[in-house]
C-alpha cells in the first residue's frame, strides 16, 4: 500500500510540474510590412500567387516557394517600364509577369497586398 501511495504521489507531482509547460503559449505569428519580388504563378479572384525570388525578413523563409497574397479594393497596381511607372489594374496582370509586391502580413497569417508593381527587374536576382 505504501508503494502505491508513493507511486500516486510521484505521478501527481510530475503532472503538476509538466502542466505549466504544456500550457505555454505558442510562438507569436509574425506580422508587419513585407516586400516580395517574384513571378506570378497564378491569379485568383482576390489573390496573386508568386514564386518568391527575394524579399525582406518576413518573406525570406519562402524564397523559392509560392506565396499567395490577397488583394483588396484598396490595392494599388502599377506598371513599370524602365524608369517610367504608370497606373495599372488587376486585369493587366498575367501569369509569368515579374512583380514586386509590398503589403502587410496580419496576425491571422494572411498576406495583404498594398501595392503590386508589374515589371520588376529580376535579372540581377536570378542565378
Query: Which CATH number characterizes residue 77's domain?
Result: 2.40.50.320
Q: Is 126 within the bounds of a domain?
A: no
Structural domain count of the chain: 1
State the pLDDT at residue 31.
86
Q: Is 74 within the bounds of a domain?
A: yes
Grid cell, residue 102, equals 509590398
Q: Which domain holds residue 79?
A: 32-118
Q: Is 13 within the bounds of a domain?
A: no
State the pLDDT at residue 117.
94
Phi, psi of 78 (to 5 degrees): -130, 155
Q: Is 56 within the bounds of a domain?
A: yes
Q: Are 51 and 124 in contact (CB under 8 A)?
A: no
Grid cell, residue 13, equals 507531482
Q: Is 62 within the bounds of a domain?
A: yes
Residues of the chain with pLDDT under 70: 1-29, 122-127
State the pLDDT at residue 18.
53
Q: Is 124 within the bounds of a domain?
A: no
State the pLDDT at residue 50.
97
State the pLDDT at residue 83.
83
- Report pTM: 0.72
State the pLDDT at residue 10.
63
State the pLDDT at residue 1.
66
Coil/strand/helix, residue 43: strand
Secondary structure E strands in the chain: 32-43, 47-55, 66-70, 76-81, 84-87, 98-105, 111-118
Q: Which of 120, 91, 95 is nearest to 41 (CA)?
A: 95
State the pLDDT at residue 63.
93
Amino acid at each position: 500500500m505504501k508503494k502505491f501511495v508513493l507511486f500516486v504521489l510521484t505521478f501527481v507531482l510530475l503532472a503538476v510540474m509538466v502542466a505549466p509547460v504544456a500550457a505555454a503559449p505558442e510562438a507569436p505569428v509574425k506580422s508587419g510590412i513585407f516586400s516580395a519580388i517574384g513571378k506570378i504563378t497564378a491569379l485568383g479572384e482576390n489573390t496573386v500567387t508568386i514564386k518568391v525570388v527575394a524579399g525582406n525578413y518576413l518573406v525570406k523563409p519562402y524564397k523559392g516557394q509560392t506565396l499567395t497574397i490577397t488583394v483588396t479594393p484598396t490595392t494599388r497596381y502599377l506598371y513599370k517600364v524602365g524608369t517610367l511607372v504608370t497606373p495599372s489594374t488587376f486585369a493587366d496582370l498575367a501569369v509569368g509577369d515579374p512583380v514586386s509586391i509590398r503589403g502587410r502580413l496580419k496576425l491571422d497569417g494572411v498576406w495583404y497586398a498594398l501595392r503590386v508593381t508589374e515589371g520588376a527587374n529580376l535579372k540581377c536576382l536570378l542565378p
